[in-house]
Amino acid sequence: MKLKSRSLIAFISAVMLVCGTASFSAFAAAQEEPGGQQAVAVEEGGENEEPELTDIGEASFSYAEKTEYTGQAIKPAVTATYKDRELVIGEDLTLDYSSNVNVGKGKITVTGIGEFTGTAELTFEITAPEVMQPTGLRCSDANIHIICMRWNSVKDAGGYQLQYYDESKKAWTGTKNIAAGKTYYKYENNAFTAGTQYRMRLRAWRTVGGRKFYGSWTTAYATTDPAAVTGIKQTSANEKGYTLTWNKVKGAMKYEVLRWSPDTKKYEIIATVNTTKYTVTDRTPGQKNTYKIRAIRTVPGSDTVFHGALTSYKATAACSVVKGIKANARLGKVTVEWKAVSKATGYEVYYTDLNGNNPVTLATVDSKTRTYTTSKLPVGTRCKIKVKAISKYGTAVAKSKYPAGAKVRVFENKSYNSILDAYQSVSDITVDNGHGYVIPQYLKNNLNYQLTKLGGVVSFAMLDMDSGTLIASNGKYYMGTASTVKMPFMLYSLYEMEDGWPTLDTTMTYSPEDYHSGSGIIQTYNYGRVLTLREIFQTIFDYSDNIGLYMLQRQFGIDGYNRFISSLGCRVSMNYYDRWGYICATDSAKEWLKMYEYFSTGKYGDWMRYSMAHTCASNFRRGIGNKYTVYSKCGWTETYHHDTAVVEAEHPYVLISFTNRVNAGRLMDIARAADAIHEDMWNYFLS
């Protein structure tokens, strides 16, 4: 007989009672075993022999092998079966859980009871809570030291972490913790440099059971903005445009060129280029525009264009070529004048050699200036004076194309009087202050013939006002003035009126003391006729009126006239007994030089310029024809036939001829012969 445990005996007894077969006699009486344990004696080979126990390990178990971490003890439900019989926890087995709180392997120890014995170990996996990987990570904006990242919201995220990859350290760094609900972060870092591509990564996290769990990283490219464009300038400016150039910007992939539109009142993109220059070809002469240029770049996986700061620049097209350039070099001073150019902000005056090479700037003047005088050029210089129109806008400067220019030669700065006074009067035709010029013999012979062909004496002088060259014959031989004296007396009278009294509207009454026979219209008037000074002047212009001269002498006085003539360096010869006086060619030249000056500086200069260009009976004017403007005052008597003038050629000159033979044709021939020499002389000067 085998001894069984008390529980087994109890179980068998219970079964027998239920089945109605229990018989107390079938069992031996329980016996106390040593230690207080009871034992039951069972007969061997009896009908109620105790069954063998089954190892619980032979059962099948069903349970969740994976479960998510909660922070609490996890006890997966276990279903156990054995030969299609579902075992009951607490009757057939017990469950004991361990390592069932933290992420990792949890353990279930199954212990068989009742008909089952032994143990079985089950394992399950406690997994970390799922955290979704962020999507839509992208660089949405930037600055030089700022990268702005955006992403799509992650469900149940408790927050985010953002990092960038440091290429120098070869490591992810710069972790930024971002609160839940945020889908944008402005990452500022002074280590970021302009125009540089970076890798950024983002992950979400959530807290479960007091622990923080992280999702997978999402990586995206980002960039900082390019730096601002520097070094903008314009080159190759012409009337239609220019080329804008600038320095290369680190990290720039392209450049945008914008221009201010006066129509839309905003800057508009006119070009996107891959290089550091852009050529503008649609402007008008002198047109001025404001531009802005910026560098741009992109990053893989993003349609966003990242712009550098806009840099402004003002540009201008070149103006049209300067026209109407006139220049003359007069006794050491060079004067140039020109026509205004539309949209010019100034002008550059310069000179080149006669071939247009080796330019030297003389001056830069403002846009209101149309004339310039200088004494900077060395004596003897043969050159072309040129003017360029300048268009300046901001720092941009564009100059017009090279104009043709005007030829000049620079002469020694001598006074006209010093040249005229130094002249030694001889009958031969001589050249004084000629700067190397020698009259060709055929031209000299022709002039000499015209001067001498009628006999008598001729006092002749031609003084070039630009070079100071004097060509003369008997230039200091004095003769009676005839009506040529009316020009210097009118000039004296004009200077007397400069202070405001009298004026051209002041009146005089024609009286017998004014009478003189000969040329004029006033002698046809009755005494007592009232005339203004303007009218008296006009009778002299139109009729070479002798009475007009006498009336001026009465109004302004002969003594004052003599003082005026003396101040010019001329010999005084007029008095109240001889109201005409004497004159020579060189003295008359001094008088005309003063009159020509008065045209430009006097109170009534414009009026006199016009009037002296339209005086009566000028043989010089008739001889030269319409080639030039000739300001003239002639005079004649029964003995004398004179003409005096300033010929306003490209290089003006004074022309004087006093003769004691009356012949208008000779004076015309003298004018033509003298002009031919003058033209040849300037061909020499400018060759």
Distances, alpha carbon 26 to alpha carbons 4, 18, 51, 246, 578, in Å: 15, 15, 17, 117, 197
Per-residue confidence (pLDDT) for residue 545, from 0 to 100: 98
CA distance 235 to 56: 97
Average pLDDT over residues 432-460: 96
Q: What is the pLDDT of residue 50?
A: 66
Q: Is residue 47 very low, low, confident or very high in pLDDT (cuts 50, 70, 90)?
A: low
pLDDT digits (tens, 9 = 90+) for 391-436: 999 999 999 998 989 988 999 889 999 999 999 999 999 999 999 9
Judged against a pLDDT cut of 90, whether residue 23 lies above it is answered with no
Per-residue pLDDT tens for 300-322?
Answer: 888 899 999 999 999 999 999 99
Per-residue pLDDT of 74-114, as tens digits, reads: 999 999 999 999 999 999 999 999 999 999 999 999 999 99
Residue 209: pLDDT band (50, 70, 90) is confident
Instruction: Enter the pTM of the model.
Output: 0.68
Query: Which residues, at least 6 apart from 157, have a Cβ–Cβ distance to it below 8 Å?
Result: 131, 132, 180, 204, 205, 206, 215
Cα separation, 75 vs 211, in Å, equals 20
Read off the pLDDT of residues 470-482 as tens digits, 9 standing for 90 and up: 999 999 999 999 9
What is the percentage of the chain residues whose pLDDT exceeds 90? 85
3-state secondary structure of 224: coil
Using alpha carbons only, what angle is made at residue 582 by residues 669 and 557, rounded to the nearest 5 degrees? Answer: 125
43 and 28 in contact (C-beta within 8 Å)? yes
Paired with 66 in beta bridges are 125
Q: Is 34 exposed, middle or buried (0-12, 13-18, 19+ CB in 10 A)?
A: exposed
Q: What element of type H or E holds 171? A: strand 171-179
What was the pLDDT predicted at 301? 82
Amino acid at 457: V
Report how far residue 629's alpha carbon sits from residue 611's, in angstroms, rounded to the nearest whole number: 12
Q: How far out from the chain centre does Cα 119 lie? A: 93
CA distances from 501 to 495, 533, 585, 603 (A): 10, 11, 32, 12
Q: Is the pLDDT of residue 7 over 70?
A: no
What is the DSSP-derived secondary structure letter of residue 44? T
**Amino acid in the structure at residue 131:** V
- Residue 630 φ/ψ, nearest 5 degrees: -120, 115
**Residue 164, CA distances (Å) to 108, 175, 222, 223 in order:** 44, 8, 9, 11
pLDDT at residue 303 in the model = 85
Contact of 74 with 67, CB cutoff 8 Å: yes
Give the β-pairing of 37-40 and 266-273.
unpaired
Q: What is the mean pLDDT of residues 338-354?
A: 96
Q: Per-residue pLDDT for 14 more than 70?
A: no
Tokens at 531, concatenated: 């005339």
Q: What is the DSSP string of 435-459?
A: TT----HHHHHHHHHHHHTT-S-EE
d(CA 510, CA 401): 62
The pLDDT score that the predictor gives to residue 117 is 95
pLDDT band at 210 (very low <50, low <70, confident <90, very high): confident
Mean pLDDT (the chain, rounded): 92
CA distance 279 to 401: 19
List, for residues 362-389, the tens digit of each pLDDT value: 999 999 999 999 998 988 888 999 999 9
The residue-averaged pLDDT of 162-184 equals 96
Query: Two tokens at 536?
Result: 């008296």
Per-residue pLDDT at 493: 98
Above pLDDT 70, what percent of the chain? Answer: 93
Which residues face 198 on adjacent strands? 222
Which residue ranges form the domains of the chain, and what is each CATH number?
54-127 (2.60.40), 138-223 (2.60.40.10), 233-316 (2.60.40.10), 326-409 (2.60.40.10), 441-500+582-685 (3.40.710.10)
- Closest to 437 measured CA to CA, from 464, 460, 405, 418: 464
pLDDT digits 0-9 by tens, 555-579: 999 999 999 999 999 999 999 899 9
**Please, what is the Cα angle at 412 between 409 and 415, to 5 degrees?**
120
